[in-house]
Every structure is written in structure tokens, then in C-alpha cells.
Amino acid sequence: MWADGLTHEKEGREAIVEKMKANYYGDITKVPATGENNGMTLYDLIDTDPGDMDWDRLIAQMSYDEMKELIYNGFHQTEAVESIAMPATLNENGPSGFTANLIGGESAMCYTGEDVMAATFNEELIKRVGGMMAEDFIYASSENDNKVYAAMYGPGANIHRTPYSGRNCEYYGEDGWLSGKIAASEIEGIQEKGVFVYVKHCALNDQEDGRYGLGTWSNEQAIREIYLEGFEGAITKGNATGVMSAFNRFGVVWSGADHGLVTGILRNEWGMKGAAVTDCSVTAPFMDYRMGLLAGQDIWDGYSTGMATLEGLEGDAAIVTAMLVTGSKKKSQKR
């Protein structure tokens, strides 16, 4: 077992979970209340600042089982939550437009690859492209079958570390600064139409073959100055609502379980207010729910089949606290 995150073994993961609890939730000893009756609905908080304490009161109405199912079952969707009157919504792939054919649906207009977008150096044009993508998501929604597409898995903000990466058409190029500028414009166009984004794949996702748990090695200076700069621009300039974490590891720690990335940088440094969703977790058992939650991850793009590690933890103070803490407040709970 690698003590800092590589293992797939049950015992090894449990040891890592206990270490993360001590490091990041060490002062949390009391299980927060769940299932409260505060008489609130999600609709009551439309346009309410994410830092408002009313969000805590609203989320405290959710039962442990509701939170667990919301976290487990995020495969291209956000589940309905009855206790807060939250409707179910759908999320779908970008980044070249509404792309549902990958899971058996239909797709809309296919826009140019992000590398071509960046090559225009035209922020206003790319903002208009983002707006058109958002309109396709809106028009794909249907009152007849209750389909509401609320979010796009995109845009992509990784770097062209090599010309042979299988997803280079989904990333803006080899320049982190330009990636951040163009991403911010595209996101502004998408979000002002009411569709929100999960900027992907955060981070260091620079190859396709073997990326399930691949260890990517770099130093912090290069990571910050090159490989994170596109994401930084997307969040700090484009006000991106969320990110999608990646399959790969930062060294030996899965990106979605890297507290320094998901909480330290995305939220504490850059001020991200929204959610972090995983990349497809259906066949990725190393994306342990406990490890991800303690690091700041919110929703898994998959189902609980074969990896339901939140069962029976309703009495675990650290885990329940991690589940309840909302996006903008998802910081280290240790005082």
C-alpha cells in the first residue's frame, strides 16, 4: 500500500480515510443534525448569496440517505431531493456543444474544437459561441418528458502537454494564460444564459490511454504556472460554477481526493462557489467516496455499484460534516 493514496485495497483506503479525518476534520466530534424541519425549499433561496447561512439550514433538512444518493448517483444528472423540493436535472457533455449521443441520446450543433477557438484570440466571438452552446442545452430540455439540461461537462482547460493526446481538440492549447482568457469568455457566454459549467478535467489530464489512476508527476511551480492556469482563469475571471476532477493522480493521490487541489486551490485560493463532480466513476473504484468527500469532492459521475463506501456512516462526524458543507464553505474544518 502507498500510504498517500495509490491503493485499491479496502484496508488501505480505510487507513487513508482515517488520516484525512485527522488532518482536515480533526476538531469535528459531533455529528451535525440532518433531516430537520426548517420549512424551506430550494426555490426560497433563488438568487441568495452562496455564503448565506440559510443554505446551511436548507441542507440540514436533507436526510443522510438523501445526501448519500445524491452523491452516489450523479451520472449525467443531479437527483431530485424531496425534502428541499429540488427537481432532478440532467448534465451533458461538451465541450464542442450539446453531446448526448455518447450515452444513447441525440446531439446538437458541433462547434469547432477549442484549439481553433483559442487561435482566434477573439474573446467576444467565443463568448457568443458559448451563448449558442447554452441555447442548445436549453432547447434540448422538454416539458413533455421532464428533461431539463442544466449543466455542461466542459469546457476543457487542460494543456496540450503532447501533440498526441486524444483529447487535444477539447483543450485550448499549450498556453495556460490564453486558455484561461478564452475559457473565461466561453463560460461567460454559457452561464449568462442560465446553464452552468463543470470545467474539466482538473487537472494534469494529458493523455487518454491508461488514464484510470495514472500517476502524473510535476513540480508545483510548473503545475501552477502552466497546467492550472487555464482553470484559474475559468474560475477567477469566468466565474465558473464548478469543475470536473480527473481520472489521474497528482503523483500518487487521485485528483478528486487531493485536498490541496480541491479545497486548498479551487475554493480557498480561487473562490470557487460551486460543485466538484468526478469524471466517470462507474469503473473507477479508486475514486473512494469517503476520500473524495474529505478532500472537497461533491458528486460522483456514476452509480454506487460495487463501491458504496458511505453505507452505515451516518454516525461519522467527519463524513457527515463533509457531506453537509456547501461549495463556497467547503474549506478545512480543522481549527
Q: Which residues are catalytic?
A: 279
Element (H, E) at 12: helix 10-24
φ and ψ at 139, to 5 degrees? -70, -25
Task: Give the residue from 288, 294, 254, 267 showing the smallest Cα distance to 24.
Answer: 294
Grid cell, residue 328, equals: 463556497
Ramachandran quadrant class, 196 (left: phi over 0; alpha: psi -120 to 50; beta: rest): beta
Spatial distance between the Cα atoms of 204 and 221, rounded to a whole number of angstroms: 13
CB atoms within 10 A of CB 45: 16
Check: CB of residue 272 under 8 Å from CB of residue 240: yes
Half-sphere exposure of 76 (CA within 13 A, CB side): 15
Task: Give the residue from 196, 199, 195 showing the smallest Cα distance to 182.
Answer: 199
Longest dimension (CA), the chain: 55
Spatial distance between the Cα atoms of 270 and 233, rounded to a whole number of angstroms: 9
- The amino acid that residue 331 corresponds to is K
Return the residue matching grid coordinates 466561453. Answer: 186
